[in-house]
Structure 1
Amino acid sequence: MPTSPPVAETARPLLPQGRPHTPFEDVQGIFTGCLFAALALVMFRESTLLTGGTTGLAFLIHYLGGWPLGAILFLLNLPFYVFGLRTLGRTFTIKTFCAVAVLSLQTEFLPALVSFDRLDPVFAAVMAGLLAGTGILILIRHGASLGGVTILALYLQKRRGWRAGWVQMAIDCVILSLGLFVLSADKVALSVLGAAALNFVIAVNHRPDRYFGI
């Protein structure tokens, strides 16, 4: 999935400065945000859909090889932490590492707690996108992300001057296009719908100037 909006303000102090989150608040925020995102991934997988970003690539590998989605997601994100340390700092990178680890575990354990007798694929695409977007929004407000493409996009923006939003969009388009080699065209179309729902939530609600608890 697009793992967070590729905008530099996610790593900058907000003005006016609010009271920082306590460690306990960060822990519950990361756990809750990841739980929302994990439920979204379960819905995507149940409907044989995918999303953009590193998560979309993990889905493609999962569908092709049948390996555990959570493990693939965790391993794919490992190289990106190098870019995170150079671009977004130690605290953000550590929180992001923890978020991805928690998400990977939740993705594997949730199917034992949740099952669907009937899940309309259109509803699954939209609802999963909204859930994932909400989860990512929670993580952003606690100084974390779901890593992957967002970190790379911010790194390239800093080092090369490439607009992070365009970089992330281009990578997401490539990953979703690769889905045509694995899934049917209608599944890919629904995956695009889910990605649009995800980004809609973030675009409407991610306003750093309105949020003062960091």
Structure 2
Amino acid sequence: MTTTTTRRSLNGLWTSQSDRHSALEDAQAVTAGSMLASLGVLLLSSAGLLTGGTAGVAFLLHYATGYAFGLIFFIVNLPFYWIAYRRIGLGFCVKTFIAIAVTSLLTEFLPDAIGLAHLQPLVAAVFGGLLIGTGMLVLFRHRASLGGFGILALYLQDRFGWRAGFVQLGFDSCVLVCSFFVASPFIIACSIAGAVVLNLTLAINHRRDRYIAM
């Protein structure tokens, strides 16, 4: 009986269903999504750019205070875990916490591992936005996020049917308005372009009625 139970538990780790991911699939997705997002953050920060959401708030505080982006990003997202737990569920909350922690750590280590001698800001914005958007898309499809406004966007999509990408774009616009205090108009324009790319990636590719696996 013990052997049979153990086999069933092990099979559950990697066996997925049409409407549910396995534990190993979730682990791979959280890791991959976090890696893509942290690489996008590296491109943005190396070019002195900003973005929206809690990452944008972290960028603003990072540029204004000099504190590490990863640490600020982790702290800024702490209040949103309660919303994630209460409104969406424990599994979403745990996976989101892990994704944020991994992304925060990687954003601190990647600059020492990847050297970028020259970055044109607009190119960095487009590719950075695409990488972060793709990373968030992977996380969304496995019921996780990078916290903050992403949690609100997913909740509003599930509750009212509002497209997560467009909801996030509205929040991002508010954050980018604040960037006028820490960046030049050109950098802000490039940052807006990156935010548009990020959110269009989500809006076009993530629909709950097309992708329902949990």
Per-residue CA deviation, residues 115-148 of structure 1 (Å, 9 max, x unaligned), is 1112111110000011111111111111100110
- Map of 1:116 onto structure 2: 116
Uncovered stretches (5+) of structure 1, i.e. residues with no partner = 1-16
Partner amino acid, structure 1, of 2:78: L
Equivalent residues of 2:172, 2:195 under 8 A apart: no
- Map of 1:94 onto structure 2: 94
Per-residue CA deviation, residues 94-125 of structure 1 (Å, 9 max, x unaligned), is 11111111110111111111111121111100
Overall identity of the aligned pairs, in %: 47
How much is the aligned-residue C-alpha RMSD, in angstroms? 2.4
Count residues in correspondence. 197
Partner amino acid, structure 2, of 1:18: S
- Map of 1:79 onto structure 2: 79
- Map of 1:18 onto structure 2: 18
Written as runs of structure 1 = structure 2, the 5 A alignment for 1:1-40 is 18-40=18-40
Structure 1 residue 212 displacement after superposition: 5.5
- Map of 1:196 onto structure 2: 196
- Map of 2:151 onto structure 1: 151
Equivalent residues of 2:36, 2:135 under 8 A apart: yes
Which stretch has the larger CA shift, 101-110 or 142-151? 142-151
Residues 137 and 89 of structure 1: CA distance in aligned 2, closer, same or farther (over 3 Å): same
Structure 1 residue 150 displacement after superposition: 2.8
- Partner-residue secondary structure (3-state), 1:134: helix
Provide TM-score, normalisation by structure 2: 0.83
Residues 206 and 85 of structure 1: CA distance in aligned 2, closer, same or farther (over 3 Å): same
Equivalent residues of 2:53, 2:172 under 8 A apart: yes
Equivalent residues of 1:83, 1:155 under 8 A apart: no
Residues 168 and 25 of structure 1: CA distance in aligned 2, closer, same or farther (over 3 Å): closer
Provide TM-score, normalisation by structure 1: 0.83
Q: Counterparts of 2:146 and 2:54 in 1: how far apart (Å)?
A: 9
Residues 168 and 210 of structure 1: CA distance in aligned 2, closer, same or farther (over 3 Å): closer
